[in-house]
């Protein structure tokens, strides 16, 4: 499975321009099987007041992702965008398959209080898994990475690949690089981390870097061989070996 990350730093509040940039990068990566966009790519992280920049029910984003996915016959994990729904504001990831259908929606569950996200966004309340080309996948957003029990739930739900759009400050690059590897190793999954600030990564279940970007606009691509995951699990099945008696 050929995976690409469309890494770019959005211009704050310049929604039309950011949509144009995303369209250009998706076209450039069209020969991939799946393309991942960063967190809050349509607005930047994050303009205020957020309600002024929110996509009502995600309609513009859905039309954009579905049209691009169908045009290029590629799966698109649409990073995340600011969405208003039912009078609430969410940081939402939408996923479109090759046929131009929305197959998943995920709202960021862990809100980054350091940046006061919890003052403006509502937290999601459930994990999201979805199938792309017969492969079970999951989604998380940025700060979710710091919560191992949350990523574990996605792995236990059957995800082989977890896609994580982010706007992660490079001031905290070292812990993030440790966390992506740790989440991959402990759950024996592929981690695809798209960061608007740069240094995006694609990690295999052994915690090895398959591809890493620089800091500017870039298409980062790697081939994911799912047989590699089967080999890792065949040698040492961590999830099967869990002893849950200590939790009872």
Beta 190-195 vs 161-166: how paired, if at all?
parallel
Residue of 39, 117, 160, 201 marked catalytic: 39
Strands (E), the chain: 2-7, 34-36, 55-56, 75-77, 81-85, 88-96, 102-107, 129-132, 135-139, 161-166, 190-195, 201-203, 209-212, 218-223
State the DSSP code for 10: P
Task: Please compute, for residue 177, the number of CA atoms within 13 A of its CA located in the half-sphere on the CB side.
Answer: 12
Residue 48 structure tokens: 């205020």
Active site residue 131: no
Query: Which one is catalytic: 9, 62, 108, 153?
Result: 108
Instruction: Say whether 108 is catalytic.
Output: yes
In whole angstroms, give the CA distance from residue 83 to residue 50.
9
Q: Identify the active-site residue in 66, 142, 160, 201.
A: 142
Taking alpha carbons only, the member of 11, 83, 96 closest to residue 47 is 11
39 catalytic per annotation: yes
Q: Tokens 């310049």 belong to which residue?
A: 14
List of long-range contacts for 148-151, beta carbons under 8 Å, 24+ apart: 148/182, 148/183, 148/186, 150/109, 150/110, 151/183, 151/187
Give the residue numbers marked as catalytic: 39, 108, 142
């Amino acid at each position: 499975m050929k995976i690409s990350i469309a890494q770019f730093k959005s211009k704050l509040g310049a929604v039309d321009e950011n949509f144009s940039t995303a369209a250009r990068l998706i076209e450039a990566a069209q020969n991939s099987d799946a393309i991942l966009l960063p967190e809050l790519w349509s607005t930047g992280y994050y303009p205020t007041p957020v309600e002024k920049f929110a996509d009502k029910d995600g309609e513009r984003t859905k039309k954009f992702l579905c049209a691009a996915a169908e045009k290029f016959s590629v799966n698109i994990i649409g990073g995340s965008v600011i969405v208003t729904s039912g009078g609430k504001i969410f940081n939402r990831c939408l996923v479109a398959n090759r046929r131009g259908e929305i197959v998943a929606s995920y709202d960021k569950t862990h809100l980054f209080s350091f940046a006061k996200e919890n003052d403006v966004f509502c937290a999601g309340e459930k994990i999201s898994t979805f199938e792309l080309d017969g492969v079970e996948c999951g989604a998380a957003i940025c700060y979710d990475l710091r919560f191992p029990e949350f990523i574990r739930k996605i792995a236990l739900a059957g995800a082989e690949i977890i896609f994580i759009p982010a706007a992660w400050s490079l001031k905290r690059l070292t812990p993030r690089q440790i966390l992506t590897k740790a989440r991959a190793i402990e759950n024996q999954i592929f981690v695809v981390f798209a960061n608007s600030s740069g240094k995006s990564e694609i990690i295999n279940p052994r915690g090895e870097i398959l591809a890493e970007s620089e800091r500017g606009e870039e298409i980062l691509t790697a081939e994911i061989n799912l047989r590699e995951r089967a080999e890792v699990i065949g040698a040492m099945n961590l999830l099967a070996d869990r002893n849950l008696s200590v939790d009872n």
